[in-house]
């Protein structure tokens, strides 16, 4: 965990990036290994040459229920013609915007404030990564459709049919809340990217039996026709292919995938896929930049009669082809995660995030579908609603910065939400996004390097502070990189620790090297935060967490 002062406080951006990559790693993870570890820090920030040779292909419509009309034939025909005319004037509305609500944050917003923020922004769908009662209670009585989840670490228990764990879980987490006026459940996500290659097959033989047991439990509770199970898959379940039409599932999971697809089809369940054009870009220095966005008309991939000018359509259709090859050409598809981070990588900026997310929203709102599934309404969930400062950064520093809102519910950029009003009240970023309201902050004070401090004495203290907080914004290509000097870098680390510790007495000392100020030290897009107030339970968790993360048994900034 320790670093030499020459590296930690280096003025060279890439040297300091290497240092802080080491400092900020943590074992807490939701989906480790989404991409390859950033292994070429010296080569990472390259020009993304438009028109460069593309790498292999990167790795989803609402079901409509039809009712027989109870009209006499002539009246029905006239009504049909009238409705057709109206639909020509007003095309069918696209899928409502969904978001992923993750909670791997040291100071998560209170659930009731998050739900109010969803309402204020006209967000009608939310996808969770667990089934926490605190979230389900505040979602009760709302009109928000909910995907609730079973984490990967529960798959072994749920897969055990004899234990009755699946029936028990459905009773406690679904039936208990699925009363009239309760939680508007839509799907149960069984695991999250369980076939991820970095898991080395850990969940390969657990996913299908867990999925089967959950769907059977839903059916036995007479809820299976309303609430269906699905498995969110990472795009790496697909083999690399040069063209979308060549899409196939990986050989190492082919048998298990056949079982899953058959069960999904039998129960009219959707296939859920996570698509990340950003990761395609981050993984390849020569990936065409305009191919990840939606404003280019330049065809990058010609696949027979189908032309592709953006990565999303190509990725989606690769899955469509893979499903068709398995005998399910019409299986419903959900885009479980898609988004763009705002920090932690040279291309991860608010400007690019706004461009990608708004471009994607506009794209799906047009209902044009994709070349292999034209005129299709795509159901999707943006990743993510809020930043999460406790996520693993093994894939990259950007992992903690996917939110369209910052940690405190403040909009990062303008985003026109489909179906929402144009009310931009309480939104500093403009557009239609509405900030969280009634957020309680700690006192407006910060921890910085004390005056007349010898910079040569800072290394161990800053190393400790960053190891026990989040310093990813100091990394190469991040918002504070090349903005702060050596003293500013140290102050940033001290303040992150100070806020993580809820500004507790003694957490801004560091052997006399730090002091508290009421003057905001933020500069040029590098924000020194003031943390939000944590609940008593969260404060206890933070104490436990920082004690475990602490270096040499030391637990706060007042160490010898």
Beta strands 306-308 and 301-303 are antiparallel
- Rounded to whole angstroms, the Cα distance separating 270 from 233 reads 12
- Rounded to whole angstroms, the Cα distance separating 445 from 499 reads 9
- Rounded to whole angstroms, the Cα distance separating 345 from 422 reads 32
- Rounded to whole angstroms, the Cα distance separating 311 from 275 reads 9
Tell me, yes or no, if 337 is annotated catalytic: yes
Alpha-carbon distance values, 78 to 72, 73, 74, 75 (Å): 10, 9, 6, 5
Tell how many helices (H) and how many strands (E) occur in the chain.
Answer: 15, 15
Q: Which residue has the tokens 């917003």?
A: 109
- Rounded to whole angstroms, the Cα distance separating 455 from 50 reads 43
Alpha-carbon distance values, 432 to 120, 198, 415, 527 (Å): 10, 38, 6, 23
Residue among 145, 239, 337, 473 flagged as catalytic: 337
Beta-carbon contacts of 196 under 8 Å, excluding residues fewer than 6 positions away, are: 31, 32, 33, 34, 234, 236
**CB-CB contact of 177 with 185 (8 Å):** yes
- Rounded to whole angstroms, the Cα distance separating 333 from 349 reads 29
Q: What angle do CA 233, 235, 238 make, to 5 degrees?
A: 105
**CB-CB contact of 455 with 487 (8 Å):** yes
Task: Give me the torsion for CA of 256, 257, 263, 267, rounded to 10°.
Answer: 150
State both tokens at 277.
């054009």
**CB-CB contact of 442 with 449 (8 Å):** no
Q: What angle do CA 74, 77, 83 make, to 5 degrees?
A: 140
For residue 269, give the nearest of 211, 221, 312 by alpha carbon: 211
**CB-CB contact of 398 with 115 (8 Å):** no
State both tokens at 233.
């898959």
- Rounded to whole angstroms, the Cα distance separating 467 from 484 reads 19
Residue among 41, 42, 145, 193 flagged as catalytic: 193
Helices (H), 178-335: 207-220, 254-266, 277-283, 311-325
3-state SS record for 447-493: EEECCCCCHHHCHHHHHHHHHCCCCHHHCCCCCCCCCCCHHHHHHHH
- Rounded to whole angstroms, the Cα distance separating 229 from 213 reads 10
Burial class (CB in 10 A: 0-12, 13-18, 19+), 317: buried
For residue 53, give the nearest of 311, 284, 249 by alpha carbon: 284
Tell me, yes or no, if 366 is annotated catalytic: no
- Rounded to whole angstroms, the Cα distance separating 280 from 235 reads 11
State both tokens at 259.
């079982």
Report the catalytic residues: 193, 337
């Amino acid at each position: 965990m320790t670093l030499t002062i020459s590296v930690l406080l280096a003025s060279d951006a890439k040297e300091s990036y290497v240092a802080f990559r080491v400092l900020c790693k943590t074992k807490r993870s939701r989906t480790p290994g989404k991409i390859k570890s950033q292994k070429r820090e010296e080569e990472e920030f390259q020009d993304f040459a438009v028109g460069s040779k593309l790498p292999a292909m990167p790795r989803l419509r609402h079901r409509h229920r039809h009712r027989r009309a109870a009209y006499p034939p002539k009246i029905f025909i006239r009504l049909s013609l009238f409705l057709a005319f109206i639909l020509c004037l007003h095309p069918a509305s696209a899928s409502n915007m969904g978001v992923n609500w993750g909670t791997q944050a040291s100071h998560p917003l209170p659930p009731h404030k998050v739900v109010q923020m969803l309402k204020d922004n006209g967000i009608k769908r939310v996808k969770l990564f667990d089934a926490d009662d605190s979230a389900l209670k505040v979602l009760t009585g709302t009109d928000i459709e909910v995907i609730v989840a079973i984490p990967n670490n529960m798959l072994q228990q749920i897969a055990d049919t004899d234990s009755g764990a699946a029936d028990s879980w459905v009773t406690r987490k679904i039936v208990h809340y699925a009363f009239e006026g309760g939680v508007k459940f839509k799907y149960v996500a069984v695991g999250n990217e369980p076939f991820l290659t970095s898991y080395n097959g850990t969940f390969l033989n657990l996913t299908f039996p867990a999925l089967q047991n959950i769907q059977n439990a839903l059916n036995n509770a007479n809820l299976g026709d309303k609430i269906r199970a699905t498995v969110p898959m990472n795009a790496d379940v697909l083999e690399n292919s040069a063209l979308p039409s060549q899409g196939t599932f990986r050989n190492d999971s082919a048998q298990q995938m056949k079982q899953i697809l058959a069960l999904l089809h039998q129960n009219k369940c959707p296939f859920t896929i996570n698509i990340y054009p950003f990761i395609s870009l981050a993984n390849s220095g020569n990936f065409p930049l305009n191919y990840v966005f939606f404003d280019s008309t330049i065809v990058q991939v010609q696949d027979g009669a189908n032309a592709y000018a953006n990565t999303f359509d190509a990725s989606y259709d690769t899955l469509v082809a893979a499903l068709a090859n398995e005998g399910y050409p019409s299986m419903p598809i959900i885009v479980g995660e898609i988004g763009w981070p705002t920090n932690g990588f040279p291309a991860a900026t608010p400007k690019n995030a706004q461009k990608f997310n708004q471009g994607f929203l506009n794209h799906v709102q047009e209902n044009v579908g994709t070349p292999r599934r034209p005129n299709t309404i795509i159901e999707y969930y943006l990743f993510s609603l809020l930043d999460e400062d406790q996520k693993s950064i093994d894939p990259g520093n950007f992992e903690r910065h996917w939110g369209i809102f910052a940690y405190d519910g403040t909009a990062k950029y303008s985003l026109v939400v489909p179906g929402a009003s144009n009310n931009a009240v309480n939104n500093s970023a403009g557009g239609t996004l509405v900030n969280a309201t009634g957020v309680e902050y700690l006192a407006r004070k910060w921890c910085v390097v004390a005056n007349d401090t010898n910079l040569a004495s800072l290394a161990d203290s800053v190393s400790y502070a960053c190891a026990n907080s989040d310093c990813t914004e100091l990394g190469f290509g991040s918002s504070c990189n090349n903005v702060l000097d050596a003293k500013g870098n140290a102050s940033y680390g001290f303040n992150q620790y100070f806020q993580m510790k809820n500004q507790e007495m003694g957490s801004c000392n560091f052997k006399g090297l730090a002091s508290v100020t009421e003057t905001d030290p933020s500069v040029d897009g590098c924000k020194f935060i003031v943390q939000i107030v944590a609940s008593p339970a969260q404060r206890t968790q933070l104490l436990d967490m920082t004690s475990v993360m602490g270096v040499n048994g030391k637990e706060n900034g007042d160490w010898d």
